Chains A and B, each alone.
Chain A
Amino acid sequence: MAYKTVDRQTLEEVKTKIQRGMLPQWAFTNHDIYERELEHIYAKTWNFIAHESEIANPGDYVTRWIVNDPILLLRDKDGQMKAYLNSCAHRGMQLCSADFGNKSTFTCPYHGWTFNQKGELIGIVAGNKVYGHEMDKSQWGLRKIPRLESYRGMIFASLNPDAESLEDFLGGMKWYFDIMLGRTTNGMEVRGVPHRWIINTNWKISSDNFGGDPYHTAMTHRSTVELGISPQDPLYASYGHQVVLENGHGINLCTTKDGGTKYPYQGLPKELWGEFEQNLTPEQRAVLYKTVVFVGSCFPNLSFVSPMHGTGGPDEPLTSFVNFRTWRPLAPDKIEVCSWLLVDKDAPESFKEASYKSYIGSFGPAGTLEQDDGEIWTRVVDASKGYMIQHKDVHYDNVLNYIMGLDRVEPDESWPGPGVAYPTCYLDAISRAFYEQWVDMLLASEA
């Protein structure tokens, strides 16, 4: 019985545990939980699918997934973004199997039905000869993804027609997105295409790690300390603020021990500083000025990191970058990572190049930081499948420790941005809020 279903009472117990800083370890690998997550979280909420610069021109398209739903996202000839189910309305064939391209129409390879950028069925092979009045072409267009909205170039889609607006969903995160994505006048662009790779872990582990876990850096990434790239001080990733936002979102704004910085504005080129004044409030500018690392997660599975890193060695200059990534669930113990490098369009080419090298050297799949994260997340799942861990009685033996800072760290009332800001990043506050949002959405399905 231990491996099977969870009920409302179990979920309510889980919620109580989370509020007290404990998470049942079986939540990472339980199949019933996984199925509920797909239906009651991923099908209900907003999912990041692309950046606007990936479909900059009329006819540009990308194909993406919301878990198992294939998405065809395109820009039509009028410049409007459209998202359809990437599946032919006739027999369900995957309509477009390329990753990206530019097309005015999409023809299904199975029977040749052709759709235009408005999703309308405009061509049927031998249509007049095989179909009569029973065929109303206007009824057989591509199925539209119910909701499609973007903020600061970040395109989100939702399978839920009744989802709140994207801006309401993002809430206070918008203020921080503005700093990372809206600081320059022409915004950001994706370099190349995103990296994609598979890790055998659970999507919550990676979301939780980016969202609320600067504490892991001292040990997981100790190799960079040994190399002299990261500081020796085991508290180095704790300085700054951990900000808990609504809807399970959270962000850490890491600074230095004394709050000073050798690299104002993350070492972004001086040519851009004037644009920060035009596009950011004084409070946002002050935060950007002193923050060394932005790292966080947008519930459920969009994470980001904007650190300063180097590639060559301790004496090489550090360069910042903006990396967004999604953790697409493929199974309770498997995710596909999709990871984008974003750069300010207005930045000089030399900075764009340095930023790209900094990203692939640290957080691409060969990156010296990414390597050890993926390895460790795999080992968490490896250790979370057994009978003892899957047992549903929520007791000492199968809960994990999320008590850091519980009822002990008071919010910093002077923090200028939205959210509840705690004056340290060594804290499980975001993780607790993330899992509370998670269990609340699962509980809503029980109502």
Chain B
Amino acid sequence: MRLRTKKEGNVVSQLYDEVRDFLHREAFLIDNRRFGEWLDLLGETLVYRMPLRVTREKSAGSDIVEEMTFLEENKRSLITRVHRLNTTSAWAEDPPSRTRHFITNIFVEPVADDEVQVTSYFLMLRSRGSKEEVEQIFGERHDVLKKVDSSWKLTYRTIYPDQSVLGIRNISNFL
């Protein structure tokens, strides 16, 4: 991925600001459990995946296994997940976790007038109950955003966790 710089002008800078605001707003909605509004940010043809990270020797190549994933979702299945969280018996999130999604290191690459590829780092911290211990999950996301009716929509997301053994009891939050 090529790094855009300020030298390329205000158009790129404004694009960067829009994308950053989109990702921060998305994180805010998830952390505040405003999942209905979060779903509105997702494109109708969304592909939302989370492959496995593995530990391999450097010479063996990629440390991502695409054949197995934690999540292999589309908009419909994410709607079902949100419906589930809204039932009276989704115990993994009842009482709800307190979460903070920290989204940083955002790289934006325009691929068309109405489409950008975005790489970002994520750190989600999660607090449950009265435990002082913090559950966390972190890694990198590769997104595609598309402009639909003058609003950005997430149309593709791949989440690469950095741990090969997740130190989190489940993935009951969105990343």
**Interface of A toward B, CB cutoff 8 Å:** 97-102, 191-200, 219-220, 222-227, 311-313, 336, 341, 356-357, 360-361, 364-366, 368, 370-372, 374-376, 378, 382
Candidates B60, B87, B167, B168; contact of A223 at CB < 8 Å: B87
Interface assignment of B6: CB less than 8 Å from any CB of chain A: no
Give Cα A303 to B165, complex, Å.
19
Contacting residues, chain B, for A357 (C-beta < 8 A) = 72
With A222-B89, A371-B92 known as contacts, the answer to whether A195 contacts B168 (CB < 8 A) is no
Smallest beta-carbon distance B133→chain A, Å: 9
With A360-B70, A360-B71 known as contacts, the answer to whether A372 contacts B92 (CB < 8 A) is yes
Candidates A194, A198, A220; contact of B169 at CB < 8 Å: A198
Find out whether the CB atom of A222 lies under 8 angstroms from the CB atom of B87.
yes
Give Cα A200 to B167, complex, Å.
10
**Interface of A: prevailing SS:** mixed
Contacting residues, chain B, for A311 (C-beta < 8 A) = 77, 80
Find out whether the CB atom of A227 lies under 8 angstroms from the CB atom of B84.
yes
With A227-B87, A360-B71, A371-B172 known as contacts, the answer to whether A197 contacts B166 (CB < 8 A) is yes
Contacting residues, chain A, for B171 (C-beta < 8 A) = 365-366, 371
Contacting residues, chain B, for A102 (C-beta < 8 A) = 60
Contacting residues, chain A, for B71 (C-beta < 8 A) = 360, 366
With A220-B91, A372-B90, A374-B92 known as contacts, the answer to whether A100 contacts B165 (CB < 8 A) is no
With A313-B80, A378-B169 known as contacts, the answer to whether A366 contacts B50 (CB < 8 A) is yes
7 contacts between A and B (CB under 8 A): A98-B55, A192-B65, A193-B68, A198-B169, A223-B87, A368-B81, A378-B169
Interface assignment of B67: CB less than 8 Å from any CB of chain A: yes
Give Cα A266 to B67, complex, Å.
24
Find out whether the CB atom of B65 lies under 8 angstroms from the CB atom of A223.
no
**Interface of B toward A, CB cutoff 8 Å:** 50, 52, 54-57, 60, 65-72, 76-77, 80-81, 83-84, 87-93, 129, 164-172
Find out whether the CB atom of A223 lies under 8 angstroms from the CB atom of B56.
no
Find out whether the CB atom of B60 lies under 8 angstroms from the CB atom of A98.
yes
Find out whether the CB atom of B89 lies under 8 angstroms from the CB atom of A226.
yes
Contacting residues, chain A, for B55 (C-beta < 8 A) = 97-99
Find out whether the CB atom of A375 lies under 8 angstroms from the CB atom of B68.
no
Smallest beta-carbon distance B48→chain A, Å: 11
Give Cα A372 to B93, complex, Å.
8
Contacting residues, chain B, for A378 (C-beta < 8 A) = 169
Find out whether the CB atom of A101 lies under 8 angstroms from the CB atom of B170.
no
Find out whether the CB atom of A195 lies under 8 angstroms from the CB atom of B52.
yes
Find out whether the CB atom of B80 lies under 8 angstroms from the CB atom of A195.
no
Which 7 pairs across A and B sit closest by C-beta, in order of nearness?
A192-B68, A192-B67, A366-B171, A371-B92, A222-B89, A197-B166, A226-B87
Find out whether the CB atom of B52 lies under 8 angstroms from the CB atom of A192.
yes
Find out whether the CB atom of A198 lies under 8 angstroms from the CB atom of B168.
yes
Residue in A closest to B89 when the chains form the complex, CB atoms? A222
Give Cα A26 to B165, complex, Å.
28
